[in-house]
Amino acid sequence: MTTVTVRGLSKRYGSLTALEAVDLEIGVGVTGLLGPNGAGKSTLLRCLATALGPDSGSIRVHGFDPAVPAQRTEVRRRIGYLPQNPGLYPNFTTYDLLDYVAVLKEMTDTRQRRAEVRRVLDEVELTDRAKTKVRKLSGGMRQRLGLAQALLGDPDLVILDEPTVGLDPEQRMLFRALISRIGERRTVLLSTHQTEDVGALCERVVVMSGGRVVFEGNPRELAGVADGQVWLSGNPPEGSAAYWRNADGLYRVIGQRPEGAEAARPSIEDGYLMLLGRATIAEVAR
């Protein structure tokens, strides 16, 4: 079932085009939004989260139109949003912060609100940190708290803007497990720079570049974009747009086949790099 429908969405900041005629449909499960800096990921997520009004185009969340003020409130009742910089109040305890956001989410009955706070604390495994001040939480715990506030009210659509940035591998694993669990019955849309996150978590992936959607499909299809264009070579290739030396001492080359090179199985990252074109490939290789 489709949770979010986006048609012809555009947004400009002065002369800069952040989104250009974006069309998208997103359903239950985890969808990854991949793209380089400035691709328009955060702008798209902010529009979907109702933090930003688009210049043109339409959005529907469960059929509600956020451009209409009364329907915007209905959309807000159905979403949970973790921005890139959530700015969680450092002097609040974990419990206080969630209680405050729960009030903002119209949970006016004290008993029900507290039950909801306990539920999300348990869901993100922070129950034993309920009395800890936000400033004393580790980066991973703070992200889990950010996720917890997004989950208050059990929203149908959870929007996460680069939630794994700055997390160490252990914290990232824990966070991935959480998101995966959340995505079992909800629609989760997360933006990331990490192709590993997409491979580990997402049933569907959307790649953005220059404010446009340049790919929609599943992670295997994204890897398939680089089919027949990834090679392993014993020597550094000449004239290839991107290559790097892997742990086995072989050169992984994307693009034209170097002489004597063997075909390699493409990864999601290979497909992503191919999609973004030679300019991005050159930038990444640098």
Partner 1 sequence: MSEWHVDPGLLQQYEQGVLNPSRVMAVEAHMSACATCRGRVPVDITWLTGNWSVVFDSIHAPQAGPVQRLLARVGLPEHRFRLLTATPALRWSWLIATLSVGALAVIAAWLAAAGETGGASRLFLVLAPVLPVVAVSGAYGSGVDPMHEITGTTPSAGPALVLWRAVAVIGAATALAGVAGLLLPGPGWYAAAWLLPALLLCTGTLALATVWSLQAAAVALGGLWLTGVCWVLGDRSEVFIPFVFGPIAQFVYLAAAAAAVAVLIRRRRHFDLGESR
Interaction site with partner 1 (CB under 8 A) = 46, 49-55, 66-67, 69, 72-73, 76-77, 79, 81, 83, 85-89, 91-93, 95-96, 99-101, 103-108, 110, 113-115, 118, 130-131, 149
Q: What's the closest the beta carbon of residue 72 comes to partner 1, in angstroms?
A: 5
Q: What's the closest the beta carbon of residue 161 comes to partner 1, in angstroms?
A: 10
Residue 30 vs 79, nearer CB to partner 1: 79
Q: What's the closest the beta carbon of residue 14 comes to partner 1, in angstroms?
A: 13
3-class secondary structure for 142-206? HHHHHHHHHHCCCCCEEEEECCCCCCCHHHHHHHHHHHHHHCCCCEEEEEECCHHHHHHHCCEEE
Place of tokens 């959530």: 86
Q: What's the closest the beta carbon of residue 209 comes to partner 1, in angstroms?
A: 24
Distance of alpha carbon 114 from alpha carbon 105, whole angstroms: 13
Residue type, 19: L
The first and second tokens of residue 145, run together, are: 């708290």
Q: What's the closest the beta carbon of residue 228 comes to partner 1, in angstroms?
A: 44
Backbone dihedral angles phi then psi of residue 145, each to the nearest 5 degrees: -65, -40
Residue 155 vs 266, nearer CB to partner 1: 155
Residue 95 vs 215, nearer CB to partner 1: 95
HSE-up (13 A, CA, CB side) for residue 193: 10
Residue 161 vs 270, nearer CB to partner 1: 161
Question: Dmax over Cα atoms in the chain, in whole Å?
Answer: 71
CB 281 within 8 A of CB 242: yes
Residue 149 vs 267, nearer CB to partner 1: 149
Residue 16 vs 247, nearer CB to partner 1: 16
CB 268 within 8 A of CB 195: yes
Q: What's the closest the beta carbon of residue 94 comes to partner 1, in angstroms?
A: 8
Residue 104 vs 285, nearer CB to partner 1: 104
Q: What's the closest the beta carbon of residue 8 comes to partner 1, in angstroms?
A: 14
Q: What's the closest the beta carbon of residue 150 comes to partner 1, in angstroms?
A: 8
Residue type, 164: T
Residue 62 vs 72, nearer CB to partner 1: 72
